[in-house]
């Protein structure tokens, strides 16, 4: 098939609170059985509030965290059990862009060298060839050649994010996990970085897993969007379809929170009561039932399955 990535029943549980003998008493079920796939050249948006498990999902896919259960299939290979060494070959095709460009660059390494290092690790032996590639990458992300010799602190936040993007592109990846790539940037800079990511995606035919809590940016960037709540995917659909016709009560509330800044954007606000329950003890049955105004008896007893409701639209709710 044309899937670059397929994730099956992925779980990531963190043990917390060990007792005297080191036995785990509680686990945080950060990601609790999700299925998703990304096609070649596709952008999949992953939205949800903090603590819903979206970043953990991204990191587990990259095997920066070891999954508790489930399968990660990347370009037809099951990488779930790959060793660190085996993963190195995978990282040629799969890269990550973090939220915080301040924390993800070594302050003592010049921008050019930070990128060159990646090429070195990935066995580009010839120095001249490496230098040439770094120059090319700098060009691609809109940085000037004289900036190769600067240190991270000499750049602004937006430019630093450009360096991080250049570094991720160095090995010609096919899939990039973008974890809140514009969240730390000012509004006037966000558009520059969003445009850069879009341009690169089109030009290089990249696939993105685009993780963000900014619904407008996700809508703009994504072909399809998955909505996460408390470790589960509650709805996936093509971006237009999801934003025009959200079916899950949580998606409906989440999308109604988008503030209208232009005429014609006004939506009826759905204000949810209460807060997200703890992922240590998620509610039985449907995880959203404690805040759902449509909750029925069945919702606390049986967990709804992700149901196909036509096209590429799936929803996890007893109402549908």
Question: Is residue 158 close enough to count as binding another protein by CB under 8 A?
Answer: yes
Shortest separation between residue 270's beta carbon and another protein, angstroms: 8
Restricting to residues 228-257, name those near another protein by CB under 8 A: 239-240, 243, 253-254, 257
Shortest separation between residue 110's beta carbon and another protein, angstroms: 20
SS3 assignment for 49-104: CCCCCHHHHHHHHCCCCCCCEEEEEECCEECCCCCHHHHHHHCCCEEEECCCCCCC
- Quickly tell me which residue has 């997200």 as its tokens: 276
Question: Is residue 20 close enough to count as binding another protein by CB under 8 A?
Answer: no
Q: Of the two residues 133 and 224, which places its CB atom closer to another protein in the complex? A: 224
Binding residue for another protein (CB under 8 A) from 27, 39, 192, 290?
192
Q: Residue 91 class from Cβ within 10 Å (0-12 exposed, 13-18 middle, 19+ buried)?
A: middle
Q: Residue 191 class from Cβ within 10 Å (0-12 exposed, 13-18 middle, 19+ buried)?
A: middle
Q: Of the two residues 32 and 42, which places its CB atom closer to another protein in the complex? A: 42
Tell me the site size for another protein, rule CB under 8 A: 44
Shortest separation between residue 17's beta carbon and another protein, angstroms: 16
Q: Of the two residues 144 and 269, which places its CB atom closer to another protein in the complex? A: 269
Question: Is residue 183 close enough to count as binding another protein by CB under 8 A?
Answer: no
Binding residue for another protein (CB under 8 A) from 194, 206, 226, 315?
194
- Residues of this chain that interact with another protein (CB under 8 A) are 43, 49-50, 156, 158-159, 186-192, 194-195, 198, 201-202, 213, 215-217, 219-221, 239-240, 243, 253-254, 257-263, 265, 269, 271-273, 275-276
């Amino acid at each position: 098939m044309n899937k670059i990535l397929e994730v099956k029943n992925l779980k990531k549980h963190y043990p917390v609170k060990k007792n005297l003998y080191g036995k785990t008493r509680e686990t945080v079920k950060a990601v609790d059985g999700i299925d998703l796939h990304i096609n070649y050249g596709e952008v999949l948006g992953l939205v949800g509030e903090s603590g819903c498990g979206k970043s953990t999902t991204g990191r587990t896919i990259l095997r920066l965290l070891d999954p508790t259960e489930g399968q990660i299939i990347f370009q037809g290979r099951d990488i779930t059990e790959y060793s660190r060494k085996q993963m190195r070959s995978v990282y040629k095709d799969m890269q990550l862009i973090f939220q915080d460009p301040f924390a993800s660059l070594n302050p003592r390494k010049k921008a050019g060298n930070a990128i060159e290092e990646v090429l070195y690790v990935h066995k580009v032996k010839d120095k001249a060839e490496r230098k040439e590639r770094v120059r090319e990458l700098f060009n691609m992300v809109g940085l000037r050649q004289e900036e190769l010799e600067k240190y991270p602190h000499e750049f602004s936040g937006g430019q630093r994010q450009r360096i991080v993007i250049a570094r991720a592109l160095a090995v010609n990846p096919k899939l990039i996990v973008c974890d809140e790539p514009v969240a730390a940037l000012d509004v006037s800079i966000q558009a520059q970085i969003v445009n850069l990511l879009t341009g690169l995606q089109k030009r290089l035919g990249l696939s993105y897993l685009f993780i963000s809590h900014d619904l407008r940016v996700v809508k703009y960037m994504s072909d399809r969007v998955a909505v996460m709540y408390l470790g589960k995917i509650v709805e996936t659909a093509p971006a237009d379809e999801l934003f025009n016709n959200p079916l899950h009560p949580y998606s409906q509330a989440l999308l109604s929170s988008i503030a209208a800044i232009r005429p014609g954007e006004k939506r009826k606000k759905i204000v949810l009561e209460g807060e997200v329950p703890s992922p240590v003890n998620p509610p039985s049955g449907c995880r959203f039932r404690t805040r759902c105004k449509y909750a029925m008896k069945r919702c606390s007893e049986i967990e709804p399955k992700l149901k196909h409701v036509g096209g590429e639209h799936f929803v996890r709710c007893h109402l549908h």
